[in-house]
Structure 1
């Protein structure tokens, strides 16, 4: 008989579910098409209220402690039973403790959400084509199973932060247990596709290993295909769209076929540095009689990636070099974009990545408490040129390393590294998120320099060191050669702290703003490191998002029970109010407080990004290699550190990053006087408030610099203006400076430039303190006579300023696609209240007299947008 071609049938329909195990008497109810999960199926049947609204999360906690059974039926495939034909069921992901039965026979027990299983069911299917096969999956409570595993392993010291301890030994998305930005929604179900496959031979995987040479214009390497089943022939093809570059015949050894290639290629670059050239790599498996048995293809890009860690005058560098070009990796951290992952489709992923790169972001970090993301996520990053920092899925815990656990982790790691290895966007794998913080905080045994024996690590109370410093780097080296590995985020030479950072080596998580010491965000420029992979500031989302999730008008005020319940950050109200009231005149109605949190967040983010990008410096003097804000997104509608809310509506902080990360930008900062946390003099060693607060307006020094990511030289002109907040008049003569802008680095223009205080000529002002005329320092960068960037430095704190009528002129273009705003006096924090489905080119802007700001409406019907500014 002639061989048959592989056949793939998704088992999408006919799913039902019930509460309890197979033996329970509960009735089956209709489920959503697979992939699906229990909360969405209960919602479909009207059994629970939407957990995303009000305090409904509390009413669905019981679901996590129950057993749930899913069931579907399907016919036996036509080719089943024919000679040499193999039939398999492929489970791409089962969440999490799953027992699978086919026609009453147990065929699989799974305990890892991140692992794909292939089960040969050739002998288990019905032979009568008239009979339906019955597939049943029993999901046990992950929370209860986790507690059982803890009891079964008393030799391990389980320590878990952020959530209850049961998540420690469970290979499941850790954020399902809740986090300080997300709800407790412990889902279960067939969360990835279930497929029925028949074949005589099939291609399991296709991948490429390569090196670039010849000035990065030539690539030499091997293309591989792993084949299962009967022997055959494998032919390979490498092509651009409509342009076949190479056809190759594979040679097989032990089921792995390969062929050498040597090509002239165009490189894949991060966005802004070159094109995102992608190639299609294909494998075709044929039989002796030329029957096509299977085909598989992948999109890849060719690029060279290096993590530069060299000794220098500061300590040891930490930055990325792509295709021999140093890259300042400014961007954000990514959490799963929904608590219910099965409703996140490829378009949603693409919209998120497109939004990030339109905000001039270069890198996104996939945080270790979520998931190895869907292929559509990485495909979008490849398409748009967004670099990916990929954590392995461990976060904020002391994980075990007993043999069964290590075996499961290795299978998880190999499968996912293999799946993702040829995405050019992935430029680093990191072992975990903040797990070494647990080591330091609890004094676990960790002799980084003295003990280099991996087997001995398993005998300590920190056995996960075996995972992070032996197993996972080995997997990355075996499966994805050329991609750097980093033991943890943060980590530096055996030192990893979160609240006490080492700014000289490795990456840091800077949480002494918001958490820790709760320092003023104005000191963030002095709180960086070689690479800042986490920092952040909370803010409310726009009102429309809040009102969707808080349905009762009576609950729509800051500090209501429903509002406080939704914000999961510990002491959030105390911290958020403190930062707002330290800097702004407080407004505590919902619209006013929402606005102030957003402007405050944008201010904090701007201080950090522009100052740490300034520290990018010049070649050989890369003090800071990148900054990733915590966080880009939310997994549900809430108040959090996200700079874009659950519905993809940006907060003003998103635009602050966009401006700070523009290819060429200008920065200005003035000497910061801490008006609330300084000792009065050398005699008073305690912190007091006996301070001459006039210093904040009278002792003025400022810096101006230009940052460029361009690889060509620019000539420009810097103009500095000093504009009275009160009157809008310029109070000092302008400064102008011609500059030659360094390529891919920072150009310092002014350092510690002093400027005199201006006094108001007001005989009715009785106190010297109030005679100062505070002014904004406004800087412009002009190239070829055109203004390409601006920045402002306001006299802090903003709350000490008054903002009488600003003389704002606001109007739309005739087609309502452009908004133009001008003012006769300086305006701080002009924010348009954004809505879902509308895209703006800019928001949260400062406006100076004599200039007009334009905002392009890129998508949607803007309707009648409302706006606010500081002082309204």
Structure 2
């Protein structure tokens, strides 16, 4: 069997001017070292040692710039206590770095053993003849920006956003700064380090690929076996599903690597489905490698899902469709774009992933697009998506730039893509590989895209070879004569917000799959106070503007606020109104896409999360606090919604049904005044087909007795056996509405796991807020409107031992 030793303790780090020391000098240095955490990042080590101020606070980001200009050396002196009895007997010993950020040179026991220049892949070094009982390991990190600018000087400057030299390196592109993120260029051993010891043979990789047939499923198992011997050997492979041996084969293993394929037949398989469409069933897969005598040499374990995924592109009256089918069921994708969850990647642990994905599950997200300027996320992220039924649109890591096409760079990409596709293949959550983010749209309009061969040759050929059952798409956006066309492919709508257009323009979008759209808002006040000095809590202060990285981002906030919302009285109202504006904009676009269901295949808003505390497009801020837009998205992503649309002099009522069953119920439609009087009402029994969106009613404003669009609104509900959904529509922008004074009654009822808050009002009340300062609570809804005469119930969950404190601290306003 293989043996494993973690090398994640005992590390130290020190900075030098580039090129001023060599490894022999560093080996002898006893002073100047600080303790380093691995996995880690130099910034975090300096923060922990008190040698760096928090770069997330105020303008302190600028004080960290010197770190990217230094050469950093890591040192670890480690002992192998069982060297003679264990390690010395192994045929091969490898040193494996799961992640080095980025340009690294590795030395062991006085010898240079290799280099690394890609943070996205693992780096393996054969140290069989170099490892001892007592070992000294050094890792030198050259300053990334210096290395990249030297490449740029030799190869030529390419067009790219923010830091053009970044495109020459296989490093997280956002770390050089983005329009929502700081420039904090990571450096360090950012993933785990291991020693592996092998016998004659070991399993190098196992990939599982399923296909469905009329009566069952086929599961193809690809296994790559490494051999440390100099001749062909006989071995046996055993495959287990859910603990039962389903396949056994005798194989011939040739050095150094041999590939083997085993075919399994599964009768009556339990399929994996996205959230809302079925079960997220995962089979326990185990593969054992035995020698001729039946001794266990190695084993591989994973969980796999059996499912079929298809990207449907069929010509129709609008152009060509773009939607997904999973197990032959059309799925409307409700989701968001995901960026790295911290500027300092080693801080993103299982707890942070769990929290963010719970937020996603609760708000109805069934797809994340992993954006191409970040990273391929940790295994834990994809495992959780498998379990939650959240599909993943996986970009390769190329974003907003031209990229080199020389042979040496294409070879780096080929190696990276091979590693990544193999690493992630077994996750059923991944439904699409995508070549890049916005490169075709921004840099390929004249037909001469630098990097084109990467997205149309290198990447698709690797995906086809290793993972042919999963669709590949060259870019996002992409399709049609214009890469951002409405009639086919996927589309990014940045005409609203970035191009200053009105929110109402969303209602005209005919995109076939909207993979980006968004609207900025500040985070909650609690988060703002953690990064902004108290004397700068005002719109336009230096700290607030520094924490909005988009050019003219602060100006856009004001432009849209003045166009849509009342004049704020102070900074907190400015924050709240900006947040409500974001909530409104996202709801408008999501409902538009859902009404066009399968004419539009999905709506992925930009963006779900943040990498630092910032004014951005996110709905969950860096400190994991939801903005008002989170709750608007939650409502817009419910399996069944009512959508109300103003059309010239009338109202259309749509019901969007994402369930796989027909719905029958009663539609109630009212026109009301904000003071609470009912002007007109109608009820209608109707049915809505499974997995469709249908216009169920239309009426003129005149017949609905609406005479003042500033004092009246429309309210609708659909009551079914399964429950009731509702929605309402303003007939003017909010800044022009004449709302009544806020008044409501509240009752609080204890529950086993929290509280139920019941609210009611005789008048319309805009954006009711529930807060529990200093407590961790989960709210079923927040920032909601109260409809006159309609009771609103909100569930508040908390730890049982905190129930009395939560009840005492609860604020409803």
The reply to whether TM is greater than 0.5 is yes
State the match for 1:151 in structure 2: 153
Separation (CA, whole Å) in 2 of partners of 1:401 and 1:108: 25
CA distance change for structure 1 residues 404 and 781 in 2, over 3 Å: closer, same or farther?
A: same
- Secondary structure (helix, strand or coil) at the match of 2:560 reads helix
Cα deviation for residue 213 of structure 1 reads 0.5
CA distance in 2, matches of 1:96, 1:752: 62
Q: Which deviations, in whole Å up to 9, do the C-alpha atoms of 1:393-423 show, x marking residues without a partner?
A: 0000001111211111111100000000110
Pairing partner for 1:791 from 727, 731, 737: 727
- Residue 562 (str. 1) matches residue 543 (str. 2): yes
Pairwise CA distance, 1:188? 0.6
The 5-angstrom pairing of residues 455-604 of structure 1 reads 462-493=449-480, 495-497=482-484, 502-516=485-499, 518-550=500-532, 552-587=533-568, 589-604=570-585
Q: CA RMSD in A?
A: 2.0
Could you report, residue by residue, the CA deviation over 1:208-262 in whole angstroms, capped at 9, with x for unpaired residues?
23321025x333434534334344634333323xx52624335345422332211
Cα contact 2:740–2:765 (8 A) shared by 1: no
1:632 Cα deviation (Å)?
0.4
Correspondence 1:230-269 to 2 at 5 A: 230=229, 231=233, 233-240=235-242, 244=244, 246-249=246-249, 251-252=251-252, 254=254, 255-264=258-267, 265-269=269-273
Q: 1:730 aligns with which of 662, 678, 682?
A: 678
What are the residue-to-residue correspondences of 1:126-137 with 2, within 5 Å?
A: 126=132, 129=133, 132-137=134-139
Distance, in Å, in 2 between the alignment partners of 1:759 and 1:505 is 39
Matches within 5 A, 1:274-673: 274-440=278-444, 443=446, 445-446=447-448, 462-493=449-480, 495-497=482-484, 502-516=485-499, 518-550=500-532, 552-587=533-568, 589-616=570-597, 622-671=598-647
**What's the TM-score once normalised by structure 1's chain length?**
0.87
Q: Which shows bigger deviation, 802-811 or 228-237?
A: 228-237
How far residue 358 of structure 1 moved from its aligned partner, in angstroms, is 1.5
Give the equivalent residue in structure 2 for 1:715: 664
1:692 aligns to what?
none
Distance 1:654 1:477 in 2: 37
The 2-side partners of 1:15 and 1:568 are apart by 35
Q: Is the 8 A contact 2:286 2:299 kept in 1?
A: yes
Identify if the C-alpha distance between structure 1 residues 756 and 560 changes in structure 2 by more than 3 Å, giving closer, same or farther.
farther
Alignment-derived partner of residue 108 in structure 2: 102
Question: What is the CA-CA distance between 1:78 and the residue it aligns to?
Answer: 4.0
8 Å contact 2:516–2:604 — kept in the other structure?
A: yes
**CA drift at 1:361:** 0.9
Cα deviation digits, residues 265-314 of structure 1 (max 9, x gap): 10000011100000111112223343322211111101000000110000
Q: Deviations over 1:690-747 (max 9, x none)?
A: xxxxxxxxx741110101111111111110011101x211122x01111110110112
- Structure 2 distance, partners of 1:190, 1:494, is 44
Match of 2:92 among 77, 83, 86: 86
1:206 aligns with 2:206: yes
Write the distance in 1 (CA, Å) between the matches of 2:712 and 2:740.
Answer: 14
Q: Quote the Cα distance in structure 1 between the aligned partners of 2:252 and 2:336.
A: 43
Residue 686 (structure 2) pairs with residue 739 (structure 1): yes
C-alpha displacement at 1:661, in angstroms?
A: 1.6
Give how far 1:142 is off.
0.8
> Paired residue for 1:803?
739
In 1, distance between residues paired with 2:159 and 2:153? 14
- Equivalence for 1:452: none
- Structure 2, gaps ≥5 residues long: none
The range that moved more, 652-661 or 622-631, is 652-661
Q: 1:221/1:847 Cα in 2 relative to 1: closer, same or farther (>3 Å)?
A: same
* Corresponding residue for residue 776 of structure 1: 713
The one-character-per-residue Cα deviations of 1:71-114 (angstroms, maximum 9, x if unpaired) are 11112444566456211101111100001111121111111111
CA–CA separation in structure 1 for the residues paired with 2:710 and 2:64: 57
CA change 1:639–1:867 in 2 (3 A) is: farther
Q: Is the 8 A contact 1:139 1:188 kept in 2?
A: yes
1:6-52, Cα deviation, whole Å (9 max, x unpaired): 11111011100000254467934333431111100111111100111
Q: Distance in 2 between matches of 1:717 and 1:759?
A: 23
Question: 1:670–1:106: structure 2 CA closer, same or farther, 3 Å change rule?
Answer: same
Distance 1:822 1:574 in 2: 38
Cα pair 1:79 1:198 within 8 Å, conserved:
no
Alignment match, 2:10:
14
- Point out the more displaced range, 42-51 or 587-596: 587-596
User: Is the CA contact 2:320–2:487 (under 8 Å) kept in the aligned structure 1?
Assistant: yes
SS state of the match for residue 598, structure 1?
helix
Contact 1:19 1:26 in 2 (8 A): no
Q: Quote the residue 1:459 is aligned against.
A: none
The SS at the match of 1:743 is: coil
Cα distance, 1:117 vs. partner?
A: 1.3
Query: In structure 1, how many angstroms separate the alpha carbons of the residues matched to 2:305 and 2:252?
Result: 25
Aligned residues of 1:270 and 1:387 also touching (Cα < 8 A): yes
The 5 A counterparts of 1:832-851 are 832-833=770-771, 837-851=776-790
Deviation at 1:804, TM superposition (A): 3.0
Q: Which residue of 2 aligns with 1:755?
A: 702
Which residue of the partner structure matches residue 175 of structure 1?
174
